[in-house]
Amino acid sequence: MHQPLMEINTLCVVIGAGSAGYGATIAALRDGCSVLLAERHGFPGGMGTVSGISSYINYKYHGEDLSESVYRALRKDIFEADGGYLGDGEHVDFFDVEVSKRIMENHILRMGGKLLYHSLLRTISRDAGGWILRFACKGATVLVRARFVIDATGDADACTLAGAGYTHGRNGDGKTQPMSMIVQVGGFEPEKWAESGGKLIHGRYACGGDCFSGEIAQARAEGYWNIPRENIAMWWAMPKNPTHITINGSRLLGYDACNPFDVTAAEIEGRKQAGVIASFFKRYIPGFANSHILSTGPQIGVRESRRIVGLRTLTEQDIAVQRQPDDMVVRCAYPIDIHSPDNAKTNFDKVNGELLYGIPYGCLLPEGLENMAAAGRCISASHEAAGSFRVMPTCMAIGEAAGVAVALAHRQGIMLSEVDPRNIRDRLDEALGK
């Protein structure tokens, strides 16, 4: 059957509606650009919704909120819609997945953005007019002409298809942080959890950071745990229902998120692990005796895959010396947090409990490609450095910086690489009301 071609022109196309793509889209729209946001799933949010990772780690620096205005506005509206709650620390905002999807969509559409769901980027090329992208969609191939491209796919799909150099995983062997299948569990009984000494935050929300290592050791010894992981994080999935818990406890070692057969195998193995986790909770953790799996989310969680080779590359040394260069556009305070690519360990590098560094603009710009930027976890960085800025509010801030850069380049009639990073930072500060 002949697949019809649908064509659309836009100033900027953003590929991937995760945290970074959302930040980029809102920022570019806010500054008057026309934006098409293309996403392979049927809703925005990326890992935060696709995989059910609803805990937005917004690490503060000595109490200073480093998030940018797009994240703050989103957070405000989610909380006002009763779709968010705070843990007992200051560093994490918990969002209801369904509320987040709806509010993100509302923001994009209200600002005049165009959404294209169920669209997978297939090809990208250039002519004198700019970039030409083809998306495989149900019922048609969609051809997009755009002057600027923001690659927020997490996997640097657009940049690598366009010929950018990339790295994958860690230096030397290319191994990545493992994927994890997030599990939603229903039938939790908070009273029983609290009676046994379990913590209830604000008297309602059940939460545990990285925990249950004692129970895991016992279950392993008794033959009820075979997952290569030593700790589990759990949190309440939504502020409306105290019986519904999100669990991050699986680990899929050795799979490549850009290899389709690996991803398939990881999804299958992830669901097996979800079964092990559900049985473990029923048997070992108070309050879960009558629990059951509600869902595992439409897609397995991917922590790491390809990153572009950019004009600048962020390294772990930059983070260790807390470098804040003149060309930084985003600041981050989250420590390096690496789930081992090899075994059950997790390395959470607290750097004496405090940290602050800047991400240079050049990390967003792929070497050798003009008017294209990467945003989110696929910017130019080492495996170790990416273990830090990968948290969602920071990825959203990187996206916001990319969107501002596009608007500046458009207004000034210059290339993305010619935009002065200080002007990006000034605009981000202005949006914060500074």
Binding site for ligand FAD (CB under 6 A): 15-21, 38-41, 46-48, 50, 53, 55-57, 119-121, 152-155, 157, 180, 182, 248, 301-303, 376-377, 390-392, 395
User: CB 136 → ligand FAD: shortest distance, Å?
Assistant: 9
Characterize the bridge pairing of strands 346-349 and 336-339. Answer: antiparallel
Q: State the minimum distance, in angstroms, from the CB of residue 391 to ligand FAD.
A: 4
Q: How far is the CB of 216 from ligand FAD (least distance, A)?
A: 17
Q: How far is the CB of 320 from ligand FAD (least distance, A)?
A: 21
- Least CB distance from residue 389 to ligand FAD, whole Å? 8
To the nearest whole angstrom, how small is the minimum distance from the Cβ of residue 195 to ligand FAD? Answer: 28
Contact 103, 26 (CB under 8 A): no
Buried b / exposed e along 262-273 (16+ C-beta atoms within 10 A) = ebeebbebbeeb
Nearer to ligand FAD, 134 or 199 (CB): 134
Total residues belonging to the chain? 434
Here the contacts of 255-263 (C-beta below 8 Å, separation 24 or greater) are: 255/178, 255/179, 256/168, 256/176, 256/305, 257/155, 257/176, 257/179, 257/302, 257/304, 257/305, 258/155, 258/168, 258/305, 258/306, 263/300
Select 47 or 97, whichever has its Cβ closest to ligand FAD: 47
Q: C-beta of 369: minimal distance to ligand FAD in Å?
A: 17
Separation in Å, CA 325 to CA 318, 335, 357, 373, 419: 9, 18, 9, 19, 16
Cβ nearer to ligand FAD, comparing 155 with 256: 155
Q: Which of 392, 372, 229 is nearest to 311 (CA)?
A: 372
Q: Which is nearer to ligand FAD, 32 or 298 (CB)?
A: 298
Minimal distance in Å, beta carbon 412 to ligand FAD? Answer: 27
CB of 409 to ligand FAD, least distance (A): 21
Give whichever of 33 and 332 is closer to ligand FAD, judged by the CB atom. 332
Residue 165: count other Cβ atoms within 10 Å of its Cβ: 15
Select 32 or 163, whichever has its Cβ closest to ligand FAD. Answer: 163
Nearer to ligand FAD, 147 or 390 (CB): 390
* Structure tokens, 4: 């019809």
Alpha carbon 224 to its chain's center: 31
State which residue, 128 or 303, has the beta carbon closest to ligand FAD: 303
Nearest alpha carbon to residue 14 among 153, 119, 140: 153
Extract the tokens encoding 41. Answer: 């799933």
CB of 57 to ligand FAD, least distance (A): 4
Closer residue to ligand FAD (CB): 15 or 99: 15
Q: Which long-range contacts (CB under 8 A, 24 or more apart) does 221-228 make?
A: 224/276, 224/279, 224/280, 224/283, 224/284, 225/276, 225/280, 226/276, 227/251, 227/273, 227/276, 227/277, 227/344, 228/253, 228/343, 228/344
CA distance 192 to 286: 6
| Residue nearer to ligand FAD on the CB measure, 90 or 195 | 90
H helix count then E strand count, the chain = 12, 22
